[in-house]
């Protein structure tokens, strides 16, 4: 189920719901992110000095709303349905219409919730939304070569290996090569 009202956007799956961040999420987001810094830092860009500030979070909330409205990005937090616990986030960014009809995916999950199928469930729902509702043709994702769980996740949800992007992203202060994956909408796939 997808619910889209003026300032509210929700995607539901069997065990999860994905929605835009709200101001009220700030404290829980900070607690979860700080608790998982060691786990996440090896996969993400270095944080700014203001990363955990309320002002930065409010700017992020507004950015998410504005970019969803303009169909430039869909940046959602992931919650367990059973107890409304925040467990991660997923973003479909750099949405390009016209001749490209593509977007890039990024995602993170707290370590204690990893390997329970939650990110697979989230990915399947955001992929469905991108292909069905946004009419995208292609989704892309990049991961560090040594991030086996991320690579397995992408392959599990139907992404295909495309190659290596040299010095693709600056991860925790160092330019790093990334493995590039893509997934095409079913009607766009070539013959087997």
Alpha carbons 136 and 134: distance in angstroms, whole number? 5
- The confidence score (pLDDT) of residue 6 equals 55
- The confidence score (pLDDT) of residue 21 equals 97
pLDDT tens digits for 102-125?
999 999 999 999 999 999 999 999
**Quick check: pTM over 0.85?**
yes
- The confidence score (pLDDT) of residue 103 equals 97
Whether 49 and 99 have beta carbons less than 8 Å apart is answered as no
Whether 108 and 44 have beta carbons less than 8 Å apart is answered as yes
Report how far apart, in Å, the C-alpha atoms of 27 and of each of 6, 36, 158, 182 are. Answer: 24, 14, 35, 34
Burial of 8 (0-12, 13-18, 19+ CB in 10 A): exposed
- The confidence score (pLDDT) of residue 7 equals 61
Would you call 54 helix, strand, or coil by DSSP? helix
Give the residue ranges of the chain where pLDDT is below 50.
none
- The confidence score (pLDDT) of residue 15 equals 97
């Amino acid at each position: 189920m997808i619910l889209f009202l003026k300032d509210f956007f929700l995607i539901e799956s069997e065990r999860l719901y994905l929605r835009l961040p709200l101001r009220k999420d700030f404290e829980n987001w900070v607690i979860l992110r700080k608790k998982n810094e060691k786990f996440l830092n090896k996969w993400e860009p270095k944080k700014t000095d203001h990363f955990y500030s309320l002002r930065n979070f409010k700017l992020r909330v507004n950015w998410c709303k504005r970019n969803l409205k303009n169909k430039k990005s869909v940046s959602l937090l992931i919650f367990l349905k059973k107890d409304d616990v925040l467990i991660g986030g997923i973003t479909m960014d750099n949405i390009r219409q016209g001749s490209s009809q593509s977007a890039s995916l990024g995602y993170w999950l707290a370590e204690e919730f990893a390997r329970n199928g939650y990110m697979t469930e989230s990915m399947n729902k955001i992929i469905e939304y991108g292909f069905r509702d946004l009419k995208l043709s292609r989704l892309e994702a990049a991961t560090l070569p040594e991030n086996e769980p991320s690579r397995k996740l992408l392959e599990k949800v139907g992404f295909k290996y495309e190659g290596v992007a040299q010095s693709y992203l600056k991860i925790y202060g160092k330019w790093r090569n990334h493995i590039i994956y893509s997934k095409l909408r079913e009607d766009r796939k070539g013959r087997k």
